[in-house]
Chain A
Amino acid sequence: MKDKGFEIIAAAQDTGGLQVADPWYEKAHVTYTALIDTKHTVSSLFQMVNVPTGVWVDERGKIVRPAEVAYSKQQRALGQAIGDDRYAAGLRDWVEKGPKSVYVVPREKLQSRLAMRGARERLADAHFKLGAYFSDQGNRELASQHWQESQRLNPDNWNYHRQDWSFDKAKEMTNFLAKVRKLGNKPYYDPVEFPEPDPGPAPPQPKP
């Protein structure tokens, strides 16, 4: 799809190596720019709370779909359905049709989904930045303290947890599953909001 003026920027939100989670991107013959984002810059700027998360940006640098789970096919994990099978097709449709694509989120809806974060979320974000600063200095204990504060202030942001747990490989999965158990009925990922498929022309009404 590169010849259609489409590119992928993949930003790894951790200090570990880059592992692109989705083979679909390779099959689509898209060259992507792989970036290392140890301080979660992209997550903070685009209000992402989990991975993999995608944002669609048009030729003029405008957001047309805000942060949402970016698996190209629906996955089943943790007893939940995650992602949407239409993601890859939706993306292709937008690359073809641009603003006419039904997958472009209308302006009003976009604005409400991009709505400002509350004071607690923004303070959580500031603590995350302090943690990233300490992590950069090699002080994991202090980093962890501030990341825990981020988690306390904004428990719905999975990236905060993920970064902290990544320090202790042995406990990573245990910590993760314990947190998932606390979810109850809340989704691990919010569902992708795609338009309902076009039902086609209405069936002819039977004559009385």
Chain B
Amino acid sequence: MNTTATAIPFTILDQWRPTTLNATLLADRVFVSAEVLSVATKWESKPEGFCCGGICLPNNKGEAVVTRQGIDLAGFAELIGRPLAVDIDERVAALGVSAQDRGAALGLLEAPDFTLPDLAGEPHSMSQFRGRKLLLAAFSSW
């Protein structure tokens, strides 16, 4: 079996935010360097595990996640408790929301912030409306 693999451009969506950097593909697995992981997801690979925003999660899978080819993206996603949807043919993967993050935010009943354009393309954030009561209404054209 040929196990040599070259790095190719791969897109990682962190929620909605895409970053295209190099990754190594082996069969249906995606491996990235610690540097790529940090740029794409803001998670740092450290000796004790993976850290982001002052929180460190231990890597209890060891070399099964931090391999010789790089960090196994699916293994990493599992460790930090986020779903990973992969389109290997198109070289794109999406990291979804973690149950813990959502639980923490919703435990405080905090409305998550977002920024979206209006019809003229002007951006608006939910947080700009602090101090007023809001009905946030989602519509569709049908």
CB-based contact B110/A62 at 8 Å: yes
- Given A117-B102, A125-B97, A130 and B110 touching (CB < 8 A)? no
B15 contact from A35, A123, A129, Cβ within 8 A: A129
Interface flag for B132 (CB, 8 Å):
yes
Chain A positions within 8 Å of B112 at CB level: 45-46
B113, B118, B135: which contacts A8 (Cβ < 8 A)? B135
Q: What 1/0 flags go to B83-104 for Cβ under 8 Å of A?
A: 1110100101111110100110
CB <8 Å contact, A8 and B85? no
B80 nearest CB across to chain A (Å): 13
Most chain A beta-carbon neighbours within 10 Å: one of B16, B84, B113: B16
Point out the residue from A10, A39, A107, A125 that lies within 8 Å of B139, measured CB to CB.
A10
Contact flags B124-142 to A (C-beta < 8 A → 1, else 0): 1011011111111111111
A156 CB–B CB distance under 8 Å: no
Residue of A whose beta carbon sits closest to that of B99: A116
Does A51 make an interface contact (CB < 8 A)?
A: yes
Q: Let me know if B130 and A61 touch, CB within 8 A.
A: yes
B75 interface contact, C-beta 8 A: no
Determine whether A82 belongs to the interface, using a CB cutoff of 8 Å to chain B: no
In the complex, which residues of chain A have a beta carbon less than 8 angstroms from the beta carbon of B118? 33-36
Q: Which of A9, A41, A115 contacts B134 (CB 8 A)?
A: A9
Proximity bits, B17-53, A CB within 8 Å = 1, else 0: 0100000000000000000000000000000000000
List chain A residues, Cβ under 8 A from B127: 61
Are A133's CB and B116's CB within 8 A?
Answer: no
Contact of A59 among B95, B113, B132 (CB under 8 A): B132
C-alpha spacing A5/B129, complex, angstroms = 10
Selected from B103, B119, B136, B142, the residue in CB contact (under 8 A) with A46 is: B136
Contact flag A11-B116 (CB < 8 Å), given A111-B106, A126-B94, A126-B95: yes
Q: How many chain B residues touch the partner (CB < 8 A)?
A: 50
What is the bound-complex CA distance between A41 and B117, given in angstroms? 12
Q: Of B99, B109, B134, which is within 8 A of A111 by CB? A: B109
CB-CB < 8 A to B90: which residues of A?
134, 142
Q: State in angstroms the CA–CA spacing of A35 and B96 once bound together.
A: 23
In contact, B83 and A125 (Cβ under 8 angstroms): yes
Do the beta carbons of B134 and A11 come within 8 Å of each other? no
Check A151 for interface membership: any CB of B closer than 8 A: no
From A52, A129, A172, contact of B85 by CB (8 A)? A129
Contact between B130 and A59, CB atoms less than 8 A apart: yes
Say yes or no: is A189 at the interface (Cβ < 8 Å to chain B): no
Known: A59-B131, A62-B109. 14 other contacts (CB 8 A): A11-B137, A12-B138, A16-B140, A35-B118, A53-B138, A54-B137, A115-B106, A122-B82, A122-B99, A123-B85, A126-B97, A129-B16, A133-B16, A146-B85
9 contacts between A and B (CB under 8 A): A13-B138, A33-B118, A35-B118, A41-B116, A55-B135, A61-B111, A61-B126, A133-B92, A134-B92
- The 10 lowest CB-CB distance pairs between A and B, nearest first, are A126-B96, A16-B141, A126-B85, A123-B83, A35-B116, A114-B106, A51-B140, A57-B134, A45-B112, A127-B85
Residues of B within 8 A of A (CB): 11, 13, 15-16, 18, 82-85, 87, 90, 92-97, 99, 102-103, 106-114, 116-119, 124, 126-127, 129-142
